[in-house]
Amino acid sequence: MRNSGVPLKIIQPKTENEFKSYYQLRWDLLRAPWNQPEGSEIDDIEDQCFHLMAVDDDSKVIAVARLQFNSESEAQVRYMAVAEPYQRQGIGRRLIETMEKHATASACKKIVLDAREPAVGFYQRLGYCIDEKSYLLFEQIQHFRMSKAL
């Protein structure tokens, strides 16, 4: 893990502007490269989920993640992305660790996620196991269902 010394904070978006920046990065990284329309980065349960973002000293959003609750005992990581210049600096690890703590505090016993194929190794290093090959997003991006007991 490289550490560039980029000062950052992991926070929950709270204001309208924070959410706007949060969703913008989600779209920029997870939808725009596949020519998906703006708005496709948002679903109908956003208000029921736990949102996190990493911001630099200028309050620029550099990473995002969401934790949703599938049941009383299971949470799911969704929409996780770190802007390319900030990858491999431990930011994703910090987001996951914060979500795992929140899930544990919420009495969850398990976290699941659908990892894009290039991210599988990252999640494996954090203790997640592949359960199965899952869906193919935009007919191009293979995902794998992964899980971790808490």
pLDDT, tens digit, for every residue of 60-112?
A: 999 999 999 999 999 999 999 999 999 999 999 999 999 999 999 999 999 99
Q: Please provide the CATH number assigned to the domain covering 8-149.
A: 3.40.630.30
Number of alpha carbons in the 13 Å side-chain half-sphere of residue 42: 12
**Look-up of token digits 């992991």:** 10
The b/e string for 89-125 (b: 16+ C-beta within 10 A; e otherwise) is bbbbebbbebbbeebeeeebeebbbbbeeebbebbee
Phi, psi dihedrals of residue 124, rounded to the nearest 5°: -60, -40
Question: Would you place residue 139 in the very low, low, confident or very high pLDDT band (cuts 50, 70, 90)?
Answer: confident
Q: What pLDDT sits at residue 138? A: 77
**Residue, of 25 and 137, whose pLDDT is higher:** 25
Q: What pLDDT sits at residue 17? A: 94
- pTM equals 0.90
Q: What pLDDT sits at residue 3? A: 46
If you count them, how many residues does the chain have?
Answer: 150
Question: Would you place residue 7 in the very low, low, confident or very high pLDDT band (cuts 50, 70, 90)?
Answer: confident
**pLDDT > 90? residue 46:** yes
Based on the number of CB atoms within 10 Å of its own CB, is 51 exposed (0-12), middle (13-18) or buried (19 or more)? buried
Taking the C-alpha atoms of residue 52 and residue 49, their distance in angstroms, rounded to an integer, is 10
Average of per-residue pLDDT values in the chain: 92
Q: Domain residues of the chain, as ranges?
A: 8-149
